[in-house]
Structure 1
Amino acid sequence: MSEIRKLETLSYQIIDRVGLITLDRPDARNALNLQMRADLTEIILEIRHDKDLAALVLTGANGAFCAGGDLKSLSENRRPITENRTRVQDLHLWFRELVDLELPVIAAVDGPAFGAGFNLALAADFIFASPRARFCAVFGRIGLVPDLGGFYTLPRLVGMAAAKDIIFTARTVEPEEAKSLGMIRDIIAGDKLLEHALTFAGQFRNASRDAIGMSKTILNKAFELDQRALSEMENYAQAMCMESEYHRDAVARFLGKKPLRFNWDNEKIK
């Protein structure tokens, strides 16, 4: 376990090759302000270049995941409309890196995940939630449209009709409904949530990061590209994987009737 690295709005540590980002603004229920954007940018870019990591867990401290954008800081000064546009554009500089991070990302959501915090959770590949988790595309309540990638992630997870329902009504979605929609993987007791997420993430330690990473990159393009373009991405990715040490070792193990390094069916949490 690495030493916990404290930034102004979050902490980061590595636990047996699993990165753990914990949002930590207790006075604002971990709301996303400019400093948190800067801190997330720093850590996510660092994670992108850490080839030893097997997975990443994203969570919040103090009984909240992320209460959304910090409305107080957003409303302190009026700005030209072009500056507002730039501020929203700047969100995607680090958010795109998180969505496209070529390793499994797991969100452990306890308490509110509202607005930008909701969309931050949706950037993960897997979401586990406690019974007191609450999800809400709250933007409509204050006359805004979803930002931080909500138009991209939500319809892909729940379908267009459900996405319109959640966005237009700006209603709260509780864990049971979120699970039925396929938004979250499971509901875990609050005192076991982080442990469960870390254990789940740790099961990727013996997987091929290259194969998962390339699969994730292609899947993230699956709704935009036609079959021919996706086939070309598949061709190049498979050609690279076939020449990897990981694949050669797996074939040797299979032919030698030895256990494979990565077999999800044999793992503790499925």
Structure 2
Amino acid sequence: MYETIQYVIESHVAWIRLNRPEKYNAFTEQMNIEITKALKEAERDGSVRCLVITGNGKAFCSGQDLAGVKEGADFGEILRKGYNPMIEKLASFEKPVIAAVNGVAAGAGMSLALACDFRLLSDKASFIEAFINIGLVPDSGNLFYLPRLVGHAKALELAVMGEKVSAEEAKDLGLATKVIPLDRWEEEVSAFAENLAHKPTKAIGLIKRYLLKSWDADLSEMLENEAYAQRTAGQTEDHAEGIQAFLEKRKPVFKGC
């Protein structure tokens, strides 16, 4: 089904592996389309309760494959047709999403990682706001997510300076959820993902939805949003299971519904 990515499901976790290792998993129009398609597939699949995006080979994603861009191309249209639908689908995806950043994440590759809920970084990984180095502006949601994660001043510094940020520096800045030694990479990423996959998925989706809305809402709106979300969560099977497990003094077994 896919030419530029691999898509598999293991233990309720969907894995999207960017699969152009010889090009450091650089984006092409086809890859944008295929990632968006895979997101829709994982969204529809009730067995999927967590999603991991990672890269095959040495890199996570080196950004746009410039060799495939025609001279004089309209970058705005490239974004509107390929990148923006991918990022918007990721933003509306109401299951937990992990960027497993196994190597360099540069340009739009960094943007993709920023748009995920959690960023697990190999100790060999790095972020680079590479746009400025070719006279361009951060895109694919970068200017939306970056200041929310690190603050305005640091976001401006990273975007303008375009310097490499190591995994440990990313952790200090709040860009990384966790830094994992390369020799424990597969084991720890899988364990983190499977832990999320066994949490109450509907509640996570509601948390994601209303955290995003909170940036543009006042207190009264958020109080009503929380009331609506809590009413919805309170009607799930997972809530009933959580209460029963609490009363029986055992660990809950959530089903994601």
1:123-165 Cα distance to aligned partner (Å, 9 max, x none): 1111111122110111111111001100111111111111111
SS in 1 for 2:105: strand
Quote the Cα distance in structure 2 between the aligned partners of 1:102 and 1:221: 13
1:57 paired residue among 35, 39, 52 = 52
The answer on whether the counterparts of 1:20 and 1:58 sit within 8 Å (CA) in structure 2 is yes
| Alignment partners' CA distance in 1, 2:216 and 2:186 | 34
Please state if 1:66 is matched with 2:66: no
Describe the superposition over 1:3-27 as per-residue Cα deviations: whole angstroms up to 9, x where unpaired.
Answer: xxx6211101001100111101122
2:222 corresponds to which residue?
Answer: 230
Q: Deviations over 1:160-195 (max 9, x none)?
A: 111111001111111111000111022212232232
For residues 1-270 of structure 1, the aligned pairs below 5 Å read: 7-74=2-69, 76-79=70-73, 81=74, 84-90=75-81, 91-261=83-253
Letter in 2 for 1:88: L
CA contact (8 A) 1:44 1:98 kept: yes
Q: Deviations over 1:8-67 (max 9, x none)?
A: 111010011001111011221100110101111110111111122121111101110000
**Aligned-partner Cα distance in 1 for 2:232–2:103:** 42
Identify unmatched segments of 5+ residues in structure 1: 1-5, 263-270
TM-score (norm. length: structure 2)? 0.93
Report the 3-state secondary structure (helix = DSSP H, G, I; strand = E; otherwise coil) of the residue aligned with 2:191: helix
Deviations 1:192-231 (A, max 9, x none): 2232111101012331111010101111222222112222
SS at match of 1:63: coil
Aligned length, in residue pairs: 253
Amino acid at match of 1:27: E
Q: Deviations over 1:53-92 (max 9, x none)?
A: 1211111011100001111112x2424x5xx322212221
| DSSP-derived class of the 2:138 partner | coil
RMSD of the alignment, in Å? Answer: 1.5
Partners in 2 of 1:256 and 1:62 — Cα distance? 47
TM-score of the two chains, using structure 1 as the length reference: 0.89
1:17 is matched by which residue type in structure 2? Answer: H
Whether the 8 Å contact between 1:107 and 1:197 is mirrored in structure 2 is no
Is the deviation greater in 46-55 or in 148-157? Answer: 46-55
Offset at residue 100 of structure 1 (A): 2.5
CA distance in 2 between partners of 1:249 and 1:108 (Å): 31
Letter in 1 for 2:62: A
